[in-house]
Amino acid sequence: MGPTACGKSQLAIDLRKYLPIELISVDSALIYHGMDIGTDKPSPSILSNHPHRLLNIKDPSEYYSAFEFKHDALKAITDIIQLGKIPCLVGGTMFYYHTLLHESSILPSSNVKLREFLLQENKNTLHKKLQSIDPISANRIHKNDFQRLLRALEIFYLSGKNLTEFKKSNSNELPYNIFQFAIMPPNKEWLNNKIELRTKKILDLDFQKEVETLFLRGDLHINLPSIRCIGYRQMWEYLEYKNSYKEMFNKIIYATRKLAKHQLTWIKKWKNLDKILYSDNTNITVNKILETVKKHQVSI
């Protein structure tokens, strides 16, 4: 795991030279097909040599909860172990990692019709509803965290039990020997520069055309989780003439930096986590991971 633009994907690919690993993506944007440039998805040639499970599994019109991710990730983990290989989860969606490790997986599945009904309300109204239903979750979920807010309400309306009640009644222990690593940026200036360079690269690769294709489909809108992904939302607003091109560019950088800060906040609180400083020489990082694994006498 680690903040955006820190080279997690390349490191995971490099690790495959030394360990019999299969990759599982932990990224809430990479799940959507047709969203390749803005998500910095690995190229088809890379994926043909280094397949990532849980990539391109949803259409941008669909919803996908963290609990659905847990279900799919556990299945992928089981399949990989049955092949005699090691599952390696790579990505920066920290809430997915948290749900996989700490949350119950027996929650009701998402319901598109119910979501569409809830989307008719504004964020403040939805948050007030959650406060009356589940004040503990409402205190934990920010009113602007639209996806988690919708999911908490959805769970109650589908099951009659709120999210807090589910958490109290279910424990979660994964029966695996788990190693957790985070790639850390050398400093804030370095990370900000990486984010700006990546944003320029994405725009140079004709990101606008990719979003125009989604825009012209006619069945997508800005409140969908896919279109709310960083970059897509800002470009969508540009196509709606709500922003200038320069404003769109600056807003993408601002949102990406905000995401990185959020990811680092998760990492600072994370337990049993080996933090490794980013290095241009991936061999240094790979060796640190291999040394940690060997130290715990795990056969590789």
Residue 282: band (very low, low, confident or very high) from pLDDT cuts 50, 70, 90 = confident
- 199 and 241 share a domain? yes
- Is the CA virtual torsion 95, 3, 231, 32 positive or negative? negative
Looking at residue 163, what is its pLDDT? 86
How many CB atoms sit inside 10 A of residue 26's CB?
22
pLDDT tens by residue, 75-111: 999 999 999 999 999 999 999 999 999 876 567 777 8
For residue 83, is it within any domain?
Answer: no
Per-residue confidence band for 130, with pLDDT thresholds at 50, 70 and 90: very high
Tell me the CATH number at 125: 1.10.20.140
What value does the CA radius of gyration of the chain take, rounded to a whole number of Å? 20
- The answer as to whether 98 is a domain residue is no
241 three-class SS: coil
pLDDT tens-digit readout, 180-204: 999 999 999 999 999 999 999 999 9
Percentage of the chain modeled with pLDDT above 90: 73
- Report residue 202: phi and psi, to 5°: -60, -45
Residues 111 and 159 in one domain: yes
Whether the Cβ atoms of residue 37 and residue 121 lie closer than 8 Å to each other: no
Does the CA dihedral 193-194-198-199 come out positive or negative? negative
Structural domain of 118? 107-169
Q: Is residue 117 in some structural domain?
A: yes
- Does residue 249 lie in a domain region? yes
* Residue 231, in any domain of the structure: yes
216: in domain:
yes
Domain final residue, candidates 225, 240, 258:
258
For residue 40, is it within any domain?
A: no
If one counts the domains in the chain, the total is 2
Which range is least confidently modeled, 94-98, 148-152, 208-212?
148-152
Positive or negative, the Cα torsion across 118, 28, 107, 100? Answer: negative
Query: Which pLDDT tens digit goes with each residue over 19-50?
Result: 999 999 999 999 999 999 999 999 999 999 99
Alpha helix positions (H), the chain: 8-15, 44-49, 66-82, 94-102, 112-118, 123-133, 135-140, 146-159, 163-169, 188-204, 207-215, 232-239, 245-269, 282-295
Looking at residue 104, its pLDDT comes to 67
Phi/psi region, residue 111 (left: phi>0; alpha: psi -120 to 50; beta: rest), is beta
User: Per-residue pLDDT averaged across 8-18, rounded?
Assistant: 94
For residue 139, count other CB atoms closer than 10 A to its CB.
10
